[in-house]
Amino acid sequence: MTQRLRLLLEYDGRPFYGWQRQDDQPTVQGALEAACAALDGAPVLVQGAGRTDAGVHATGQVAHIELQKPRPLRKIPDALNFHLRPKPVAVLKAEEVDQNFHARFSATGRAYRYIIINRRADLTLERGRAWRVAQHLDADAMQAGANLLIGEHDFSTFRDTECQAASPVKTLDTLEVHRFADRVEVTTTARSYLHRQVRSIVGSLVEVGRGMKPPEWIAEILEARERTACGPVAPSDGLYLERVMYDDHPWGT
């Protein structure tokens, strides 16, 4: 009898070409599948809750696997982490689930956090893990613009040209901007997102925060439903998949 497991994952996205397995590039899925195969003695498919882009981090990604050789649950995270070293991927938790569970299709929501360091000095400790914006950002103006995106909309403006989603219509449940000293964070929750939607939104909100555009501009470009109307796309450095929600409980940090 096989053992299906739900894994809670953390990773630094900088060394990887995103989540999805590629034959000629290092990916998070590829690293996990190699570790699982080393543990189980056979190929193991790792299914993730979301396909993060190159350079995007996670503190609460969720995946599921199926092992042919069941093992004591308490030993699995340590065993997988042994095989993952020195790659910057960690299994924080493992939980047995029934055969109907699917990390992606069973998810009811996802939460992302984007971190901006708003200062003139270069980044040192957070280099590659946040976006430095030198010009002062008005977080209140950014929030005013963000409020115009909450709810169900056609997000074609904020959709990457290579997005494979069947529809550009998505529903943002929350979109919040908070300042903590020189740190500005944008957080959002939704059932699902378009490809690079969060980074596209953050980039446009930063244009508002810098005073280059008024908050009402966000509504204008949303209504345009045209990718060319979008502001610059924020770099991957500051984006974190923070939490994946399921009906049984919100699993993540």
**Strand 183-190, strand 109-117: pairing:** antiparallel
CA distance 209 to 178: 12
Residue 226 tokens, joined? 């045209």
Active site annotation includes 53? yes
CA distance 126 to 179: 17
DSSP string, 211-247: TSS-THHHHHHHHHT-GGGS-PPPPGGGEEEEEEE-S
List, in sequence order, every residue forming a beta bridge with 34; answer none if it has no partner: none
In Å, what is the CA distance from 120 to each residue of 132, 135, 136, 137, 160? 8, 7, 9, 12, 30
Q: Per the residue annotation, which of 53, 122, 140, 154 is the catalytic one?
A: 53
- Is residue 176 within 8 A of residue 187, CB to CB? The reply is yes
So which residues are the catalytic ones? Answer: 53
